[in-house]
């Protein structure tokens, strides 16, 4: 089968690149092994740590992916936000100044965008409410109410904690380890359960106007939070749970649907295993399911170690499909013994030229572009820029392909 | 073909993505979900078979967990293999009747008007439920009067006229229930310049035998089919099937679940839509369509086993080639029937709950027909919606000039 562009990978970078190409009229296909790391998403998107992420990014080393974006970083950030919104994902925040989102352990972390309806703080120290009820499903193992209560206490917010149950969730507890975020979210797709939960909220919250819940409000439905707010008259805010992340899954689903609606094709469950070259350019890739795809351009958005784009071998780190050039320190220097310090392996990835063309044996391949977590030169955890690099490099690659 | 170790479950990172996409776990709280039933449970079962839980029989073997898995864990295979190895539930009369499609089909096609009329009666279906535990609401596929193989015998000479030849694995459904689909396939392939032969001795692929616990018989039939497929392969014939599940079983389940080597012929077993699409792309073949065929809106449903094969796009691209067909792609999801699973009384509710959103999407699509490559999806959709379901090959054949 033949496409204008074939994208290898199915995560945030691949989907944004795909949507941008598809809406410019390109026939694009995505090839992905399984579902993406968006299933572990925090519900927020980081651009760069610091009060003003755009300014902080100006002073980065030339090897940092942001340094290859040129002047257009601000516009790319705006475009990424617009695509999320076009896909139906309502966000809070902007690239001018970071805000803070509450993590599953109650910590407050800087971010650029967060999904509407989650617990956020403008300054990382205070909230615009003084008391709240923390309400969690009984037997739900992936939400730590005490950590969250402690965090609010530090910010001067008084909280009370309560649990709720629904008949459907009680049966689910027969398999306690499978009482997970998605299970609860699915139960809350049902109108009768929403109504039952609404009356529990009214009963438990009493005079408290703000209710904090795990981010499990609806799996297919996106209106459960607003529906509960409408019935109860309370402000309802959510905090991300441990994986699987319902918010992340909703982001993936919305982006996939947008891509497909714009004519994109997704080969899910396919691992790209082979490729062929013609005159220094990639001609085709072949997948684990025996499907060969030809294209004018190929985009490597296969992720890092967890996404499956990079592999750690005894001899060093390798890029799995093309054997592309990898920028990495010697194996002994890949880790720092201090667990909480910056880990060098986080910055390992492939080398690309100024146009994000992938280098193989020191030469950039004319029609092969790299974007997202497979790239080298940045530390997503330490710098808080994983989502930003994924989205902005993906859009830059799309721009380079469109202008080709 | 990639070789998998029995320690494949070690690749699981416990990310739970599989459970998110399990259609059974979504609607039936009694099912522990693929992660626990598969890789988690396997670790324990390796210690002792007593850790086997009969709730694994609730798995409908759709393999959507495997498609969703980012770590290439063969979750569905692990669950099915555990059922084969440890389940103490012995198959009964119901399982025998549902699984032995060849035997039941050969008898039924002889007296199909009687069988169809009888099984259509509500009181009879209640008796069937009482005796066999097959849900009375389930509508049986109608049997044909005379088999596809019988029809093909009369075509032998005509088919031999073609210079290029393929072997057709028609499957039980085409043979006993829907010979017109087989005839449509012959028509399309003939139009591309290929004659159609039958395998020397085709038996049911065995998918229903495997899921109903008749493993020895399944192995016997697998060996017999592979012997016929090898002969065809040696004669230079590609073996092509219209059913996505037959194709999947021949290519993957024989080796993964029955432990029968098929690596030498696996790449020679193809699905009709893929085979035809690839021919049309090679620049030497094309089909003439009837420009005056009525304009129809078709909603395509991708069957689970076709998703697992990874070949859904071939059927979609093929349908897109037909002028006067306006294609709507339905979101990929399980229809709930899973072969014989949905016939069983204890599964009926789960089966219909799984398919519910698909049925709603089909009705909302305002299509004239639904298209799909799987016969049991067809039964489920026709029973549960107002739409008629056709195989993409039938649509192709109907629109040829």
pLDDT in tens, A166-209: 999 998 888 887 789 999 999 999 999 999 999 999 999 999 99
Q: Which residues of B touch A175 (CB under 8 A)?
A: 29, 32-33, 36
Question: What is the pLDDT, as a whole number, of residue B1?
Answer: 44
Q: Which residues of B touch A35 (CB under 8 A)?
A: 17, 20-21, 68, 70
Question: What is the pLDDT, as a whole number, of residue B128?
Answer: 83
For residue A105, the 8-state DSSP code is T
**Would you call A227 an interface residue with chain B, using a CB distance cutoff of 8 Å?**
no
Nearest to B72 among A1, A33, A265 (CB): A33
**Would you call A261 an interface residue with chain B, using a CB distance cutoff of 8 Å?**
no
Nearest to B15 among A186, A243, A265 (CB): A243
Q: For residue A269, give the 3-state DSSP assignment.
A: coil
Shared domain check, A279 and A181: no
User: What would the DSSP string read from start to end of B216-228?
Assistant: HHHHHHHHHHHHH
Q: Which residues of A touch B33 (CB under 8 A)?
A: 175, 178
The two three-digit tokens of residue A91, written as one number: 């966000």
Instruction: Give the contacts of A259 (CB within 8 A, at least 6 positions apart).
Output: A15, A18, A19, A22, A28, A30, A266
Q: Pick from A186, A213, A239: which residue ends a domain? A: A239
Q: Do A267 and B71 touch (CB under 8 A)?
A: no
Chain A residue closest in CA terms to B73? A34
Q: For residue B168, give the 3-state DSSP assignment.
A: strand
Shared domain check, A266 and A235: no
Q: Do A269 and B36 touch (CB under 8 A)?
A: no
The pLDDT tens digits of the residues spanning A314-366 come to: 888 999 999 999 998 787 888 899 988 889 999 999 999 999 999 999 999 99
Q: Do B32 and A178 touch (CB under 8 A)?
A: yes
The two three-digit tokens of residue A300, written as one number: 């490597």
Instruction: Give the contacts of B98 (CB within 8 A, at least 6 positions apart).
Output: B134, B208, B212, B340, B343
> Could you tell me the CATH number of the domain that includes residue A147?
3.40.50
Shared domain check, A341 and A265: yes
Taking the CA of residue A115 and the nearest CA in chain B, the distance in Å comes to 21
Shared domain check, A329 and A258: yes
Shared domain check, A368 and A298: yes
> Could you tell me the CATH number of the domain that includes residue A78?
3.50.50.60
- Cβ-Cβ pairs closer than 8 A, A with B, add up to 89
Shared domain check, A252 and A226: no
pTM for this entry: 0.94
Max Cα distance, chain B (Å)? 66
Using an 8 Å Cβ cutoff, are B96 and B209 in contact?
Answer: no
Q: Which domains does chain B have, with CATH numbers?
A: 8-86 (1.10.1060.10)
Closest CA to A302 of A285, A290, A315, A316: A285
Q: Which residues of A touch B273 (CB under 8 A)?
A: none
Q: What is the mean pLDDT of residues B190-198?
A: 97
Shared domain check, A125 and A87: no
In which domain, by residue range, is A217 found? 119-239
Residue A203 counted as domain residue: yes
Nearest to A171 among B13, B29, B71 (CB): B29
**Would you call A171 an interface residue with chain B, using a CB distance cutoff of 8 Å?**
yes
- The whole-chain average pLDDT of chain A stands at 95
Residue A274 counted as domain residue: yes
Q: How many domains, chain A?
A: 2
ω before B194 within 30° of 0 (cis)? no
Shared domain check, A397 and A256: yes
Residue A330 counted as domain residue: yes
Q: What is the mean pLDDT of residues B125-151?
A: 89
ipTM for the whole complex: 0.92
Q: Do B70 and A270 touch (CB under 8 A)?
A: no
The pLDDT tens digits of the residues spanning B339-351 come to: 889 999 999 999 9
Q: Do A175 and B329 touch (CB under 8 A)?
A: no
């Amino acid at each position: 089968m033949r496409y204008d562009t074939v994208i290898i990978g199915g995560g945030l970078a691949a989907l944004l690149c795909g949507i941008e190409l598809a809406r410019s009229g390109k026939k694009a296909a995505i090839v992905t092994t399984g579902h993406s790391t968006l299933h572990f998403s925090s519900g927020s998107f980081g651009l760069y740590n610091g009060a003003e992420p755009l300014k902080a990014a100006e002073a980065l080393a030339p090897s940092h992916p942001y340094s290859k974006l040129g002047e257009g970083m601000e516009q790319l950030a705006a475009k990424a936000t617009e695509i999320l919104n076009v896909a139906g994902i309502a966000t809070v925040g902007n690239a001018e100044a970071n805000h803070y989102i509450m993590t599953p352990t109650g910590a407050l972390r800087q971010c650029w965008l967060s999904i509407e309806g989650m617990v956020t703080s403008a300054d990382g120290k205070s909230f615009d409410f003084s008391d709240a009820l923390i309400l969690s499903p009984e037997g739900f193992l992936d939400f730590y109410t005490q950590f969250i209560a402690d965090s609010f206490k530090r910010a001067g917010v008084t909280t009370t904690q309560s649990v709720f149950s629904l008949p459907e969730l009680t049966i689910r507890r027969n398999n306690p380890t499978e009482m997970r975020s998605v299970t609860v979210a699915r139960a809350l797709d049902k109108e009768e359960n929403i109504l039952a939960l609404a009356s529990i909220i009214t009963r438990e919250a009493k005079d408290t106007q703000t209710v904090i819940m795990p981010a499990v409000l609806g799996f297919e439905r996106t209106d459960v939070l607003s529906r509960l707010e409408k019935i109860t008259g309370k402000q309802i805010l959510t905090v991300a749970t441990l994986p699987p992340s319902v918010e992340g899954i909703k982001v993936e689903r919305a982006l996939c649907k947008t891509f497909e609606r714009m004519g994109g094709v997704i080969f899910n469950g396919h691992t790209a295993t082979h490729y062929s070259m013609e005159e220094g350019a990639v001609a085709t890739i072949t997948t684990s399911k025996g499907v060969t795809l030809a294209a004018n351009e190929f985009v490597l958005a296969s992720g890092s170690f967890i996404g499956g784009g990079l592999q750690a071998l005894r001899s060093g780190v390798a890029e799995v499909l093309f054997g592309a050039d990898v920028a990495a320190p010697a194996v002994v220097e890949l880790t720092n013994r201090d667990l909480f310090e910056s880990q060098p392996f986080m910055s390992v990835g492939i080398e690309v030229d100024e146009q994000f063309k992938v280098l193989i044996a020191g030469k950039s391949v004319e029609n092969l572009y790299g974007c997202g977590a497979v790239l080298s030169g940045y530390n997503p955890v330490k710098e808080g820029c994983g989502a930003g690099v994924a989205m902005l490099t993906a859009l830059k690659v799309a721009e380079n392909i469109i202008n080709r | 073909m990639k070789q998998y170790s029995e320690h494949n479950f070690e690749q699981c990172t416990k990310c739970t993505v599989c459970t998110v996409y399990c259609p059974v776990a979504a609607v039936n709280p009694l099912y522990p979900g693929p992660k626990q039933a598969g890789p988690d449970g396997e670790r324990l079962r390796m210690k002792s078979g007593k850790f086997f839980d009969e709730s694994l029989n609730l798995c409908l073997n759709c393999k959507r967990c495997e498609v969703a898995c980012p770590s290439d864990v063969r979750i569905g295979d692990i669950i099915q293999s555990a059922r084969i190895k440890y389940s103490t539930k012995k198959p009964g009369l119901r399982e025998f009747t549902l699984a032995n499609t060849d035997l039941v089909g050969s008898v039924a096609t002889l007296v199909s008007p009687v069988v169809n009329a009888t099984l259509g009666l509500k009181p009879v279906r209640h008796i069937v439920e009482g005796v066999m535990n097959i849900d009375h609401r389930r509508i049986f596929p109608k049997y044909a009067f005379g088999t596809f193989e019988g029809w093909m015998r009369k075509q032998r000479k005509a088919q031999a006229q073609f210079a290029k030849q393929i072997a057709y694995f028609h499957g039980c459904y085409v043979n006993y229930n829907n010979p017109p689909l087989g005839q449509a396939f012959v028509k399309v392939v003939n139009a591309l310049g290929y004659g159609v032969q039958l395998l020397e001795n085709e038996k049911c692929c065995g998918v229903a035998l495997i899921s109903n616990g008749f493993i020895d018989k399944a192995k016997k039939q697998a060996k017999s089919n592979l012997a016929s497929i090898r002969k065809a392969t040696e004669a230079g014939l590609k073996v092509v099937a219209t059913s996505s599940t037959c194709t999947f079983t021949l290519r993957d389940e024989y080796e993964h679940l029955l432990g029968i080597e098929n690596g030498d012929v696996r790449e020679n077993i193809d699905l009709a839509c893929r085979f035809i699409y690839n021919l049309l792309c090679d620049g030497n073949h094309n089909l003439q369509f009837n420009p005056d065929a009525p304009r129809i809106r078709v909603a395509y449903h991708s069957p689970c086993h076709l998703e697992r094969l990874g070949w859904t796009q071939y059927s979609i691209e093929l349908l897109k080639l037909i002028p006067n067909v306006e294609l709507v792609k339905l979101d990929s999801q399980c229809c709930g029937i899973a072969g014989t699973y949905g016939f069983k009384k204890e599964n009926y509710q789960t089966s219909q709950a799984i398919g519910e959103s698909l049925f709603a999407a089909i009705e909302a699509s305002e299509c004239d027909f639904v298209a799909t490559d799987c016969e049991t999806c067809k039964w489920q959709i026709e029973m549960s919606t107002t739409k008629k379901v056709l195989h993409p090959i039938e649509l192709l054949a109907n629109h040829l000039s």
